[in-house]
Amino acid sequence: MNQNFLRTTLIIWHNQLNLGLAIKHWSWWTALFCFANSLFWAFPSYNRIVSKDPQINDYNSFWNRINEQADHPLTHYDYPPAVHEAKISFRLLMPLLARFSPFKDLNIRMAYLFFIQHIAGFFFFLFLIKLAWRYTQDKATSALLAIAISVTYLGHCFFYELFGFFDGVAFTLLLISVYYPRAWWAVLCFFLSFWIDERAVLASGLIFLLLTEPENIFRKEHFKSIFLKAFPFLVAYVVYITIRKGLELKFGLTVPIGTEHDAGLGLIIQQIRTIPLATFLSYEGLWILIIVGIYAAWRKHKRLEVSLYMVAFFIIMLVSWSVWDVTRSLVYGFPVILFCLRQVALSTTKTTLFTLILLVFILNFIIPSYKNHYFQFYWQVPFPVKVLHLFS
């Protein structure tokens, strides 16, 4: 009787939420809610970014480097190899957007680029919802998944990060390439994401798998269509590598790597105690969806596809553990969420899938959102707490 009551209740909730979303432009309204919800639970310290006090504004050195890139994008600067500023020589897209904007003042450029990342946050949720709808054909599940993500670091990074990390813009560009796989601008978005952060190159492996559906590649009737779909994206890789190598040879742009430069496998041993919690907090309740999705695909004998996804995801995990900012690195593996969502949707009923995503949402809501960096865990502070702090 209790099981029947619970099932009936879940069906009612599912139907009611679908009924509530039976409105025009429902995906846009849901994306706007996710935007506001994420901003509420991880409100940025806008006061710090404009402060002249060096004890309050600890972002200045990063933004000065970005401003330097905007003015002289092809100039090599000798920073100590272990610092962040030395590692962004090829992260040129956002500095170039600042360069070709009408703004020359550092603070205005900061606000401009930060605004772009905010807008990218809205479109990330929009395309996430649209892709979830494409895979599930269920508005309630699609909306609930986006809301569940909006209370995790993956949803917060569009607003919370004041350090000049533009991961959110890269995430949005990668999602656009999945949503419009046959459009020329999909390849352009795919390519541009590489110039925001090298982690996007790693994430693009998962995007590439989403686009090509490799399980069918050995079937003669599918090989040609898969190759034609994949070819423009393969060209994007070649063009990126060629341009990057050219910049390195002609202008001396480099990125120092190695444990002694705070980017190498040796860091795994140094932060072995914090890695398990940092890994869990990167996705929180979404790990349940990932595990169930992998299991569902494996049971359907999609062994090649599962293996490729797991290898690509493990590479992202390994690289994430090899740097100090584990959380922001590991969430670059977010495309695996879409793969797992699609596999569960193909394997079960809409009500069961909705129940699973509801469980993910509850866990994400209960678990505080933290970012791990250099042995520390930083709480992303909600708006009411931030206001109290400002006036205390």
User: Could you tell me the pLDDT band of residue 391, with boundaries at 50, 70 and 90?
Assistant: confident
Cα 85 from Cα 261, distance rounded (Å): 12
8 Å CB contact between 301 and 216: no
**Do 228 and 52 meet the contact criterion of CB atoms below 8 Å apart?**
no
Mean pLDDT of the region 254-260:
91
Round to whole Å and give the CA distance between 90 and 195.
6
pLDDT band at 57 (very low <50, low <70, confident <90, very high): low
**pLDDT by residue (tens digit) across 185-206?**
999 999 999 999 999 999 999 9
pLDDT tops 70 at residue 55: no
Q: Report the pLDDT value the prediction gives residue 210, as an integer from 0 to 100.
A: 92
The residue among 201 and 46 whose pLDDT is bigger is: 201
pLDDT at 225 (0 to 100): 79
- Choose among 183, 169, 187, 180: nearest CA to 124: 169
CA 134 to chain centre: 19
- First-residue to last-residue Cα distance in the chain: 52
349, burial (CB in 10 Å: exposed 0-12, middle 13-18, buried 19+): exposed
- How many whole angstroms separate alpha carbon 257 and alpha carbon 90? 14
The predicted pLDDT at position 59 comes to: 74
Q: Which string of b and e fits 310-328 if b means at least 16 CB within 10 Å?
A: eebbeebbebbbbbbbbbb
3-state secondary structure of 138: coil
- Of 186-195, 329-338, 375-384, the range with the lowest mean pLDDT is 375-384
Mean pLDDT, the chain, rounded, equals: 93
Q: What is the pLDDT of residues 112-124, one digit of tens each?
A: 999 999 999 999 9
| DSSP states of 282-332 | HHTTHHHHHHHHHHHHHHTT-HHHHHHHHHHHHHHHHHHHTSS-HHHHHGG
CB 262 within 8 A of CB 323: yes
